Amino acid sequence: MNPEVSVIVPARNEEACLGECLRSLVAQTGVSFEIIVVDDGSADRTREIAESFAGVRVIAAPALPSGWTGKNNAMVAGAVVARGEWLLFTDADTVHLPGSLARAVEEAEREHADLLSYSPEQVVVTFAERVVMPVVFAELAAEYPPAKVRDANSGIVAANGQYILVRHAAYEAAGGHAGVAREILEDVALAKAFRRAGFRVYFRYGADAVRTRMYRNWAQVREGWTKNLALLFPQAASRALLVFMWWLFAWLTLPAPIAAIALFIRIRAANFRMGTTLAAMAFGPPVFAYLVLRSWRQHAMRTVSWKGRTYSQASGGASEIWTPRTENRELRTEN
């Protein structure tokens, strides 16, 4: 009998977090499931850790096709062998709360969703994480309000690649990750593909289901958001300037703190604790602006580095292709 859910975890050098992720997944109850870890050319203990969990199937991602990103290639490899009616694509740095998998399937069915995506609770530890992550997620919440994402007529659609649950049949009909294989921002691209195909997309903040620590130091914060921010915000340079000027005005007008209060309310919407929100309010906006502009510059130069691969983009309108090149340096371990 086939499992109801196939959980697919792409993993490239994830020894720092994969064990905790898999422990939380194998302990799920209330639904039948299988777990597939796709080892994407790891050079650390990722495969060894995955194979230490009984019942977890570990496969190797095939050679990376020209124009594909590594994560999309790994996702497709997992989907090809998956047997579940539902597919959960989730990152190796996630931790899943007890019973969350069964509840997610129930919610998707209740909401008649073909794609359900949660934005996980973000765990932040270092100073860099604390000041940057709340600002990023506050701006994402403003750009992609969950209520509007859920509205098929809003023109706004998105998903968070850390947790995407899809009906297997709908995934295939929408083209799956193979259909967005060239995309750096594959989660949003996949949600758009579902919407175009007429399938329902359901998105919300999911702290009751999953948490994650995306980055563990400044270098990872910088590289990760450099890859994504220019793609997440269509008017990237304007967004960077707006956030920076708002922050500057808030500091300059503290005796009449209307701007500061408004900035606090905006960042507070990102669902971080009060102390982290205040730290982000005080120091985060100029760092966010720097990262957005850095991302905008890298994409303008048509080159993005990620997990030990550099993707170079050849111009050509709709036929643009990101070509990966593995760098001669130690592979990074973040998602």
CATH number of the domain residue 70 falls in: 3.90.550.10
Rounded to an integer, the average pLDDT of 41-61 is 97
Pairing of strands 163-167, 115-119: antiparallel
Token pair of 309, please? 């691969």
Q: Are residues 74 and 43 in the same domain?
A: yes
Q: Are residues 104 and 238 in the same domain?
A: no
The pTM of the full predicted model, rounded to 2 decimals, is 0.91
Kindly report, residue by residue over 307-327, the tens digit of the pLDDT. 778 877 654 333 344 555 554
Kindly report, residue by residue over 141-179, the tens digit of the pLDDT. 999 999 999 999 999 999 999 999 999 999 999 999 999
Residue 259 structural domain: 218-326
Residue 133 within any structural domain of the chain: no
Residue 116 within any structural domain of the chain: yes
Residue 138 within any structural domain of the chain: no
Higher pLDDT, 333 or 235: 235
Residue 171 within any structural domain of the chain: yes
Share of the chain above pLDDT 70, in %: 93
Cβ contact 118:204 at 8 Å: yes
User: What confidence category does residue 306 fall into, taking pLDDT thresholds of 50, 70 and 90?
Assistant: confident
Does pLDDT of 4 surpass 90?
yes
Q: Are residues 184 and 320 in the same domain?
A: no
Q: How many domains does the chain have?
A: 2
Nearest CA-CA partner of 268 in 162, 145, 137? 137
Torsional class of 112: left (φ above 0), alpha (ψ -120 to 50), beta (otherwise): left
The mean of the pLDDT values for the chain is 92
Q: Are residues 201 and 226 in the same domain?
A: no
In the prediction, which pLDDT does 111 show?
98
Q: Are residues 298 and 251 in the same domain?
A: yes
Helices (H) and strands (E) in the chain, counts: 12, 13
Does pLDDT of 3 surpass 70?
yes
Q: Are residues 240 and 201 in the same domain?
A: no
Q: Are residues 188 and 295 in the same domain?
A: no
Q: Are residues 228 and 208 in the same domain?
A: no
